[in-house]
Structures are given as structure tokens and as C-alpha cells.
């Protein structure tokens, strides 16, 4: 009986020693700054700026909620990745709230401060050429295009909440007024949706402007001009930029009389293997004839003018030509990216309320196994019809077969 009792005491002792290491004692025993030590010892009242400094000091030492010991490597990593962003959050919040004692901060004050922070300009952390600080505009109404993004706004709010959580965990404060800086997934999605309309108009207008440029009115350098075909393959066929740039003459095949583009390369995901129906619009513009022309010319690539000795440079060469063409014809290349043509197709498919499996097949977002079942069910024509209807709203395009 005595031996059992001794054994029980021996096994329980390490546990008691471990639980003795409270969050505050971990930091008190560490090499913290004099200010942080004064805060922990109760010799200094905690104001907002001091709270941020304590948080930065603790996290840089490797402290994290619920930890039983400090992790120096983790702390160094945090300081390198998040230290500067946390300093930025401190500046933003002290601009919005001032530097009151933490216990005097009311939730109503934080609500008002969040509205000010939401309207911060994108360049809030930089100085202009005249030397003035852009943060002086805090609180002024800023357009959705010019203000900070949702991700930055949420990061500022969540950082302040983490600072308050640390004070509560260290028993330095009874409550965290920043606990309202918490957004659910649905609330975050709603915030992002509020900004999306202006962004959508911007890139969609740029896509329309490009498809109305001279090259689509008959001013082509040759019948296989990549600046003509690649954007169309993306917005009428759903091809990715890299897929369109590296098409070969063997990629065009026929299934029950329907021309399809077969993408089957060593990709990172199973979705790299798929079959894309050639819509009637692309057939009328002469895509099938272009494949036949390249075969007659004994060319292996559909766009041999983009061929390069080094892998990956063909896509870069197209992007360079694409930007030069946009600048030549007055199209703002900063608001138009090659990916926007695929995005335009995705929006068009959603607008016509296509079933989810049809959208994912059209955009190449299904696995190899799903593709096999999809083709066995003879639904390839359904995707072709969806792609055709999605491209029906495009402006009149003059192809090489005019």
C-alpha cells in the first residue's frame, strides 16, 4: 500500500511542476523588455500602445496561448513574418483611438474606430513625395477602389483582439473590449462581396475593350496570331493560359464527330487531364482549320511563334506581347490580366445558372475519374452548349476565315 502511494505521488509530481508554469510566470522568467517587466509587475498602467508592445515582445520570445514553454524558434519566425504588420496595426489603432488606458476603452469607441480604419487609403503606411503622412487622412471617406483591402482591414482588427486576449490571459485585464473584432466566415464573405462589384466592372470592361480591339476586327498579323486565339480559347473554351500557349497539333481530336481539345500533360493535379469541346463559335472562326494548317506545315505547336528553348519562357513571351499590344491600343494593362478571360467565362456560366458539375467541367476543375464518368454519360454536348451560350454575348469578332 505504501509503495502504491509513493508511486502515485511520484507520477503526480511532474504534472504539478508543469502546471505551475503559468503564462505570466513564463514571461517573467524570460528576457523581456524593462517596459514589459514593469507592466507585469504592476508598476505601469497599461495603455493601448503599451499593450501592443507587450504583445509584440511576448510573441517575439515565442509565447503563444496555451503553451507551457516559450519557443524561441517560433518567436523568431513570428517576428520576421508578422512583426512589421503588428507594428503597423499598432500605429493604425493609436491613430484611430489615441492612446487611452486599456481599461477605459469602450466597445462603442472600437466600432467608430473600425469605421475609420475601413476607410484608410491603400498607401496609409507610406509618405508622399512632399513628405506628408498619408495616415493623416484617417476617418475621411475613401472610395472602395482606393482604400485598404478587406484582408488588411480584418488583419488589423484581429491583431487588436489578440492583444486584448493576451492581457486577459495574463490576468492584467478583466475583459477584452476588442472581442468584437471577430468575423465569421459568412461575415467575411459578405465584406468581400461588397467590394467585388466595382472590381468586376473594372476587369470585365477591360476584357470587352480588348475583344473590341483591331485584331478582332480583321487586323491580324497572320491566321494563327496568339494575341487573337489565346484569349478566345480562354473565354470561349475555359483553357488556362499555360494550356493555350502550349497547345500541340495532336491536342485536337474528335469524339463522335465533335472536335475536342485534349489536355493531357504532366500536371500538378488530376484536373490537368481533360477534354474541352470546341464550341461552334471557335469552329466558325477557324480554329479547326488552324490545327490543320499547322499539321500541313509540319509544326508540332499550334503557336510556334511563341516557342522557346527554355521551358516556361513561351508563356512569358506571350504576356510581354500581350502587354505591348494593350499599351499600343490604349487598353489599361494594369486592370487586365490574361486570367480575366477565364474569369469572364466563369461569370457567364454562373449567370446562365449552369449546374455546378457543368461549370466545373467547363473550367477544368474535375478529377480524372470524374471526367471518365462524365464522358460515359455523354454529357460532353451539355458542356459544349453551355460554353456556346456563355460566349453568345461577345462582341462581333472577325476571324481569319472572314
Q: What is the CATH number of the domain that holds 356?
A: 1.10.443
Does residue 66 lie within any of the structural domains?
yes
SS3 string, the chain, reads: CHHHHHHHHHHHHHHHHHHCCCHHHHHHCCCCCHHHHHHHCCCCCCEHHHHHHHHHHHHHCCCCCCCCCCCHHHHHHHHHHHHHHHHHHHHHHHHHHCCCEHHHCCHHHHHHHHHHHHCCECCCCCECCCCCEHHHHCCCCCCCCCECCHHHHHHHHHHHHHHHHHHHHCCCCCCCHHHHCCCCHHHHHHHHHHHHHHHHHHHHHHHHHHHCCHHHECCCCCCCCHHHHHHHHHHHHCCCHHHHHCCEHHHEEEECCEEEEEEECCCCCHHHEEEEECCHHHHHHCHHHHHHHHHHCCCCECCHHHCCCCCCHHHHHHHHHHHHHHHHCCCCCCCCCCHHHHHHHHHHHHHCCCCHHHHHHHCCCCCHHHHHHHHHCCCHHHHHHHHHHHCCCCCCCECCCC
Q: Which of 156, 171, 195 is the last residue of a domain?
A: 195
Q: Which of 161, 176, 195 is the last residue of a domain?
A: 195
Mark whether 191 and 331 lie in a shared domain. Answer: no
Mark whether 150 and 113 lie in a shared domain. Answer: yes
- Residue 10: all three cell numbers together: 511520484
Mark whether 186 and 227 lie in a shared domain. Answer: no
CA distance 198 to 53: 38
Task: Render each residue's pLDDT in the chain as its tens digit; 402 residues.
Answer: 444 544 444 444 444 333 446 778 888 888 889 999 999 988 999 999 999 999 999 999 999 887 788 889 999 999 998 999 999 999 999 999 999 999 999 999 999 999 999 989 876 555 444 444 444 455 455 555 678 888 889 999 999 999 999 999 999 999 999 999 999 877 887 787 776 655 556 788 889 999 999 999 888 878 899 999 999 999 999 999 999 999 999 999 998 888 999 887 655 444 456 788 899 889 989 999 999 999 999 999 999 999 866 556 788 889 999 999 998 988 887 778 888 999 889 888 888 888 887 888 888 776 555 555 555 446 778 888 888 888 877 768 888 865
Mark whether 175 and 207 lie in a shared domain. Answer: no
Domain count, the chain: 2
Q: Which of 195, 218, 240 is the last residue of a domain?
A: 195
The pLDDT of residue 392: 78
Mark whether 316 and 330 lie in a shared domain. Answer: yes
Does residue 211 lie within any of the structural domains?
yes
Mark whether 170 and 262 lie in a shared domain. Answer: no
Does residue 261 lie within any of the structural domains?
yes
Query: 81-102, pLDDT tens digit by residue?
Result: 899 999 999 999 999 999 999 9
Does residue 401 lie within any of the structural domains?
no
The pLDDT of residue 377: 46
Cβ pair 120, 147 in contact under 8 A: yes
Mark whether 190 and 208 lie in a shared domain. Answer: no
Mark whether 360 and 339 lie in a shared domain. Answer: yes
273-277: strand order across its sheet: 252-255, 258-264, 273-277
Mark whether 384 and 366 lie in a shared domain. Answer: yes
Does residue 5 lie within any of the structural domains?
no
For 5, other C-beta atoms within 10 Å of its C-beta total 9
Mark whether 213 and 117 lie in a shared domain. Answer: no
Mark whether 242 and 152 lie in a shared domain. Answer: no
Cβ pair 118, 154 in contact under 8 A: no
Residue 255, CA distances (Å) to 295, 371, 373 in order: 19, 14, 15
Mark whether 71 and 154 lie in a shared domain. Answer: yes
Question: Which residue range(s) make up the domain with 353?
Answer: 201-391
Query: 112-139, pLDDT tens digit by residue?
Result: 999 999 989 876 555 444 444 444 455 4
CA distance 7 to 85: 51
> Rounded to two decimals, what is the model's pTM?
0.52
Does residue 17 lie within any of the structural domains?
no
Does residue 399 lie within any of the structural domains?
no
For 138, other C-beta atoms within 10 Å of its C-beta total 18
Beta-carbon contacts of residue 79 (< 8 Å; ≥ 6 apart): 56, 59, 60
Does residue 365 lie within any of the structural domains?
yes
CA distance 180 to 345: 39
CA distance 282 to 237: 9
- Residue 60: all three cell numbers together: 517575439
Amino acid at each position: 500500500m505504501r509503495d502504491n502511494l509513493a508511486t502515485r505521488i511520484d507520477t503526480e509530481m511532474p504534472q504539478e511542476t508543469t502546471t505551475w508554469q503559468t503564462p505570466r510566470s513564463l514571461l517573467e522568467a524570460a528576457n523581456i523588455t524593462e517596459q514589459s517587466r514593469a507592466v507585469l509587475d504592476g508598476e505601469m498602467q497599461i495603455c493601448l500602445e503599451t499593450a501592443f508592445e507587450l504583445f509584440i515582445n511576448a510573441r517575439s520570445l515565442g509565447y503563444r496561448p496555451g503553451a507551457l514553454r516559450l519557443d524561441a524558434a517560433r518567436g523568431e519566425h513570428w517576428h520576421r513574418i508578422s512583426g512589421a504588420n503588428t507594428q503597423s496595426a499598432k500605429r493604425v489603432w493609436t491613430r484611430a483611438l489615441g492612446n487611452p488606458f486599456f481599461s477605459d476603452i469602450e466597445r462603442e469607441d472600437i466600432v467608430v474606430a473600425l469605421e475609420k480604419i475601413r476607410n484608410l487609403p491603400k498607401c496609409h503606411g507610406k509618405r508622399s513625395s512632399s513628405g506628408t503622412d498619408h495616415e493623416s487622412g484617417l476617418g475621411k471617406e475613401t472610395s472602395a477602389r482606393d482604400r485598404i483591402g478587406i484582408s488588411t482591414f480584418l488583419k488589423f482588427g484581429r491583431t487588436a483582439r489578440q492583444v486584448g486576449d493576451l492581457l486577459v490571459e495574463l490576468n492584467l485585464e478583466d475583459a477584452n473590449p476588442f472581442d468584437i473584432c471577430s468575423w465569421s466566415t459568412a461575415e467575411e464573405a459578405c465584406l468581400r462581396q461588397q467590394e467585388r462589384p466595382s472590381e468586376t466592372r473594372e476587369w470585365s470592361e477591360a476584357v470587352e475593350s480588348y475583344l473590341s480591339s483591331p485584331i478582332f476586327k480583321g487586323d491580324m498579323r497572320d491566321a494563327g496570331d496568339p494575341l487573337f486565339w489565346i484569349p478566345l480559347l480562354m473565354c470561349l473554351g475555359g483553357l488556362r493560359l499555360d494550356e493555350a500557349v502550349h497547345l500541340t497539333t495532336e491536342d485536337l481530336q474528335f469524339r463522335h464527330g465533335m472536335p475536342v481539345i485534349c489536355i493531357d500533360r504532366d500536371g500538378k493535379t488530376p484536373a490537368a487531364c481533360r477534354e474541352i469541346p470546341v464550341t461552334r463559335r471557335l469552329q466558325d472562326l477557324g480554329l479547326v482549320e488552324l490545327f490543320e494548317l499547322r499539321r500541313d506545315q509540319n509544326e508540332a505547336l499550334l503557336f510556334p511563334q511563341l516557342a522557346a528553348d527554355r521551358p516556361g519562357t513561351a508563356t512569358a513571351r506571350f504576356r510581354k506581347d500581350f502587354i505591348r499590344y494593350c499599351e499600343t491600343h490604349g487598353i489599361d494593362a494594369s486592370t487586365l490580366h490574361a486570367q480575366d478571360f477565364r474569369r469572364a467565362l466563369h461569370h457567364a456560366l454562373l449567370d446562365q445558372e449552369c449546374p455546378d458539375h457543368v461549370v466545373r467541367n467547363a473550367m477544368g476543375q474535375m478529377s480524372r475519374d470524374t471526367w471518365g464518368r462524365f464522358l460515359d454519360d455523354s454529357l460532353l454536348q451539355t458542356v459544349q452548349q453551355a460554353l456556346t451560350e456563355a460566349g453568345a454575348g461577345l462582341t462581333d469578332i472577325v476571324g481569319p476565315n472572314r
